[in-house]
Structure 1
Amino acid sequence: MDEPNLRLDIVSDPVEFRALKPEWNELWSRAEGRYHQAFAACWLCWTKVAQPRGRKLCCITLRQQGRLVMVWPLVVYRKLCWTVVRPLASESTDYTNILVQDGPTARKAIERAWSAVQKRCGADIILLPFLNADSKLFELASRKRGVVTKTVHPVAVAMLRSETDWRSFSSSLGTLFKNKPGALERRLSKKGDVRIRFLGPEDGEENARLVDWMFHCKRQWADRVDKKGAWLYSMEYRNFLVALLNQTDGEVIARLVVVSLDGAPLAVNILGLGKTCVDDLIGGFDPAYSRQSPGAIATEHCVKWALEHQLDLDCGAGSEKYKGYWSRNHILTMWSMQIANTRWGLLAFQGENLRRLFRWQPPVDKTEESLAAV
């Protein structure tokens, strides 16, 4: 039975969804949310990715005595003959999280949200990408009899908020591929004028130009190694990244880091900014300068920037050595889950062709650039 002071609603109208913004922002601040949980990021996921792809909103909210205490934005769409539900996201390597106010009702709120997904969204198939193995939602989803696949992803997180200064932190790390922090940049500086800049919404035109440059570099890499994810050629994803970097409707939630040599870009990284943690979303580098490792230089400055701003840094999914190095091997376990919510949904996974259609493809190193796809 529902508790009388807790009211669950499902918002499917984009106008009503946008009207949640003030309460959502307040909840995001209280809950110390991640970048992808901010209203601005979710609104861009809707307008730049989900809506153009024909998705429908299914945003679950929970109020306690009228106050918003939980929000979980989802989308619903048809895949052949099946109805699929997944988190509202850029549909690249996005985590599954429920934004919920910490406290005695948090577990109950997550239980209510999960029950609503199963019973009220009309889902034959539920997709939960990159779900933390230590979360309440993972515990609940794992109990579901219809779990068809679970793909594990190690995620390195550098716990930087406890560090005092960059010098002491970097000197304690040892070497990465025989290089101490700062060595690659000093070596590159012998070739010309090296600059590292963190761009914001005020750099709108340059942000767009560098995002396009990054995708061009990544496509060159994809052609060379024959790994071509759909995201790499997705105009929706490209538009999302540009809009994310340039959004001015509230707090800045993304920055682009660019390493240049004599004015020409060599590497870029895009960071998503949360209340206590930065997400290293995506990056690219000029393959002509691969021996100089400009991508590694960009990553080092991302770590330094996060530390100086007293933020942790999520290095993203993958077991690459540089992630373990900067995180001091602080590794979380994430799972991407596919769940048959109905008998009809289970039928979708019984043939090999349909299993391939819905299968998650784990991402690889951002320096070799591939993102998860369904």
Structure 2
Amino acid sequence: MGGLRTEIIRDARAFMDLEPHWWQLWRQSISATPFQSPAWLIPWWQTFAPGDLAAIAVWNGDALAGLAPLYVERHDRGQRLLPIGISLSDYLDILCVPELEAKAGAAIADAVLSLKWSQWILPDLSADALSMCLELPNTEESRAMAHAACPVLLLDGDRTLARSVPARRRRQLRRAERAARRRGAVVVSRNESDPQMFLDRLVRLHGARWVGHGGGVLSDMAVEFHRRALPRLADSGLARCLTIQIGDAVVGAYYGFHHRNRAYAYLGGFDPAYADESPGAILIGHAIAGAANEGAREFDFLRGRESYKYGWGAKDRWTAQKVWTRSTPQ
């Protein structure tokens, strides 16, 4: 197909060997997020590997022109083709170089049809995801255009937050900062240089925040994944890791990402003993201001309609889900 060569990668070592080519492809992709980077998806596969690897690589000579990181999950009703990174990733998609987008996408579709599956499920697709344009003949396609809400705050070059964050939230933030200073000296620090120490703090604070309430997301396997992924993300300049110290105690942690003109708030935690000082809110305020100073035009709170996100002025942006079904695996 136009000089392109397609490879289906089933071996984990070969999948990891894609990394340098993958980075080049990811950097060229207009719609890519940190969740499609090798820093995120290679550790995901190393940690979970819940099925049979079936990653599709499209080559243009020695350069990677397209990539669909997929695996096959076997269950009682057949075989499902799923994206690597599912569940922990807020956005999922294929990658293609812009100048070969149509050809590489068609090559991925052809390769997908050569695999054995009864359903191919792609959840959490952004509005500009390349997968939205994929077509698979002789299959039944369904779409859910309001799959999950990701509240997004528009920054529009606002480095003071005066035009982007509602006045009420700014007043609350100032009160929280005054309350924190009454309890001790307040220091907000960047922690990307020591990712394992940051994760130790995040795990402790996230667990303290959710103990007895449910809703925490840091299972043992998830922690193992982040211990693999965060050093890669930090080395690539994608991670944003903040902690807040009040007096002698580290009482809050914020784990996010920054890529091009968008910041992403992924996970946080705080010590409930300091709830009156709102360390989580102080950290988010610093993260938003820092993102604006780095040129971000959007601050994405990612999946979930928690009320605090809307208090910052975020508006829902919905992801889509595409599902292809065929009666019998080919």
TM tier, smaller: 0.7 to 0.9
Quick one: which amino acid aligns to residue 294 of structure 2?
H
Secondary structure of the residue aligned to 1:69 is strand
Give the secondary structure class of the aligned counterpart of 1:316: coil
- Counterpart position of 1:113: 108
Q: Which string of whole-angstrom CA distances, capped at 9 and with x for unpartnered residues, describes residues 72-117 of structure 1?
A: 21122223453222111163243112222223x3134334324433
Structure 2 gap segments, 5+ residues each: none
Aligned with 1:212 (options 199, 203, 206): 203
- 1:79 has 2:71 as partner: no
CA contact (8 A) 2:258 2:291 kept: no
Does residue 186 of the first structure (1) align with residue 185 of the second (2)? no
- What's the CA shift for 1:166? 2.0
Residue deviations 1:278-326 (CA, integer Å, cap 9, x gap): 3211112223333332221111111111111123432112334543454
TM-score by length of 1: 0.75
Hey, what does 1:319 align to over in structure 2?
305
Is residue 130–residue 335 contact of structure 1 (8 Å, CA) maintained in 2?
A: yes
Matches within 5 A, 1:122-271: 122-140=116-134, 145=140, 147=142, 152-160=147-155, 162-163=156-157, 166-167=159-160, 169-170=161-162, 173-177=165-169, 179=171, 181-200=173-192, 202-220=193-211, 223-224=212-213, 227=214, 231-232=217-218, 234-247=219-232, 250-271=235-256
The SS at the match of 1:71 is strand
Deviation at 1:248, TM superposition (A): 7.7
Aligned residue pairs, count: 326
Q: What's the counterpart of residue 95 of structure 1?
A: 91
Q: In 2 relative to 1, CA 133–38 (structure 1 residues): closer, same or farther, beyond 3 Å?
A: closer
Does structure 1 retain, via aligned residues, the 8 Å contact 2:202–2:269?
Answer: no
- For 2:246 and 2:173, locate their aligned partners in 1 and report how far apart those are by CA, in whole Å: 19
Q: Which runs of 5+ in 1 are unaligned?
A: 346-374
Q: 1:43 deviation in Å?
A: 1.4
Q: Is the 8 A contact 1:40 1:250 kept in 2?
A: no
Deviation at 1:23, TM superposition (A): 1.5
**1:125, CA displacement in angstroms?**
2.7
Shift of 1:237: 0.8
- Is residue 23–residue 68 contact of structure 1 (8 Å, CA) maintained in 2? yes
Q: How does 1:21-60 map to 2 (within 5 A)?
A: 21-31=19-29, 33-50=32-49, 54-60=50-56
Using the alignment, how far apart are the partners of 1:141 and 1:188 within structure 2?
A: 54
Q: In 2, Cα distance between the equivalents of 1:314 and 1:4?
A: 38
Q: Once the two structures are superposed, what CA deviation does each residue of 1:250-286 show, in whole Å capped at 9, x if it has no partner?
A: 5233232112222323221211333443321111222
1:166 counterpart letter in structure 2: R
* 1:219–1:336 CA distance, 2 compared to 1 (3 A): farther
Secondary structure at 1:179's aligned position in 2?
helix
Could you give the per-residue CA deviations for residues 109-163 of structure 1, whole angstroms, max 9, x where no partner exists?
334324433x133222323221124434235479962539776222233344x51
Distance in 2, matches of 1:172 and 1:178, equals 10
Q: Deviations over 1:318-339 (max 9, x none)?
A: 334543454653x4221245x3
Asked whether the 8 Å contact 2:124–2:319 carries over to 1, the reply is yes
Mapped contact 2:165–2:313 kept (Cα < 8 A):
no
Is the 8 Å Cα contact of residues 133 and 139 (structure 1) preserved in structure 2? no
Q: Deviations over 1:200-229 (max 9, x none)?
A: 1x3244223113203422441xx33xx457
Question: Structure 2: which amino acid aligns with 1:268?
Answer: A
Q: 1:319 to 1:91 in 2, by over 3 A?
A: closer
Q: What does 1:287-326 correspond to in 2, within 5 Å?
A: 287-311=272-296, 312-324=298-310, 326=312
Amino acid at match of 1:292: E
% identical aligned pairs: 22
Q: Structure 1 residues 18-27 or 135-144, which shifts more?
A: 135-144
Distance (whole Å) between structure 1 residues aligned to residue 152 and residue 86 of structure 2 = 21
Task: Give the alignment's Cα RMSD to 1 decimal.
Answer: 3.1
Letter in 1 for 2:178: R
Q: 1:145 to 1:176 in 2, by over 3 A?
A: farther
- CA distance in structure 2 between the aligned counterparts of 1:61 and 1:31, rounded to whole angstroms: 15
What is the match of residue 335 of structure 1?
Answer: 320
User: Aligned partners of 2:16, 2:94: CA distance in 1, in Å?
Assistant: 18
Q: Secondary structure at the match of 2:162?
A: helix
Q: Alpha carbons of 1:83 and 1:277: their partners in 2 closer, same or farther (altered >3 Å)?
A: same
1:25-66 deviation line (CA, Å, top 9, x unaligned): 11222225321222222211111232xxx4332211222344
